[in-house]
Structure 1
């Protein structure tokens, strides 16, 4: 399993691959699946079974879908349902399948200066946060988390002033680190929060709102739009990750004994 920086991604696209094209599967996905360690746990059995080498490009969901739209990858695994549905409806992807879910959390310094600890209403919490002196760090990268956060503020009808609302343009792990350094709050997925909790010292102050449900889907790039994609490899991954074996592997990912993703494929 290979991960790419922006330069390495360019080299992958621009240069001949050492392996035959049908032995390589390019997967764009979210930082949460990578930062949490899920992919390092999930993909090796698939690679061993199929002989494919999965090249992972971990970015925000918006960028992951853009890579898929351009035909720069073969398959995408993201968590931005409205954007996923538009992607398929516009003919860029085919065969979307549910894979798993977890939830979003509002993570803040445990001092809780905004007085929001223990709540389960994300909209009410954000209104209190906006009225306090606590800063908020936004992903600002059009990721699934960023899109969800923006939708919450829209419903809340309020936003902190610019001095207290910081748009990072970074991945989830980096944003959690930044929030800890600034003693700020941020919206995060549970898996990445669990991975970074000991490093940041942030605490979960709001969870359990049904609006914080976080589903992940997998979609093959439409070969009619991009004939050069590895259609066979994409289908193999989709079939495996939604199979009993793949779903059991997801359920078995429990770093520190905590289950971070819950399988949801309909078979």
Structure 2
């Protein structure tokens, strides 16, 4: 899946809203969120519990975090759930949001071919692992889509003192699942959120090679959009979703979600 242009995203939003215009009387919200929360199956597990409790439907537009921010800035989504804390805080500071809150956490992992040609499984830090990949110019598949995962990857290269480029570094403009598929076909290294990796069904020779560094911490946040900037949005319904995510019931729903018996997200709600 390549990066979706504005027209394609606009069509998706129109389809979600039925007419393309938000109807205040309709008991649903449009949520702009990340591909990892959708592809992992999390929303399929927790949204029905929210809907049962409140009667409010949640319609998800799953894109990279950067695109999710843009959708929310334009006023084309009622709520926002993403994983780029610095970007989220900037969203509030710039007056687009009134509140952000930590909701849940998981981590990023570095995946690669079983033979591990760069030897990253022996690295002590993720920065060292990234340097080893660059030193041998082992193929690396990057999402390249301004998603939360891509932004985190770029920070790791910077920490490692590497400016990636050249034929070994492939920026795909893809979501996490398609990027993993491409990495599997290329026998390439790739950074993934753990949830999408665990749910991934086409690993071929790929295996998890590096994990556990604190720099791979992956925080997800929920944001309320400023009603003065976008008064047409369903702020009352969106706030019910936001508060439910932070509630004991919402946090338990997140904790209950597993794939193959493995929890993929860990609740850690508290307001900033």
Contact 1:114 1:132 in 2 (8 A): yes
SS in structure 2 at match of 1:159 = coil
Counterpart mapping for 1:1-267 below 5 A = 7-12=11-16, 15=19, 21-196=25-200, 198-266=202-270
For 1:207 and 1:134, the matched residues in 2 are separated by 19
- Matched residues, number: 264
For 1:50 and 1:22, the matched residues in 2 are separated by 13
Task: Give the superposed CA RMSD.
Answer: 1.9
Summarize the Cα distance change of 1:120–1:214 in structure 2 as closer, same or farther, 3 Å threshold.
farther
SS in structure 2 at match of 1:232 = helix
Contact 1:101 1:214 in 2 (8 A): yes
Q: 1:77-99 CA deviation, whole Å, 9 max, x = no partner?
A: 00001000000011101221110
Question: How high is the TM-score relative to the length of structure 2?
Answer: 0.91
For 2:205 and 2:82, the matched residues in 1 are separated by 27
Q: 1:172-228 CA deviation, whole Å, 9 max, x = no partner?
A: 011011100001011110000101155444211111111110000000111110000
**CA offset at residue 7 of structure 1?**
2.8
Task: Give the gaps of 5 or more residues in structure 2.
Answer: 1-7
Task: Give the gaps of 5 or more residues in structure 1.
Answer: none
For 2:20 and 2:156, the matched residues in 1 are separated by 44
- Find runs of 4+ consecutive structure 1 residues off by over 3 angstroms: 10-14, 16-22, 197-201
Contact 2:13 2:76 in 1 (8 A): no
Contact 2:137 2:168 in 1 (8 A): yes
Contact 2:180 2:190 in 1 (8 A): yes
Contact 2:12 2:61 in 1 (8 A): no
For 2:124 and 2:200, the matched residues in 1 are separated by 22
42-51 or 20-29, larger mean C-alpha shift: 20-29
Contact 1:120 1:207 in 2 (8 A): no
For 1:149 and 1:69, the matched residues in 2 are separated by 24
Question: How high is the TM-score relative to the length of structure 1?
Answer: 0.93
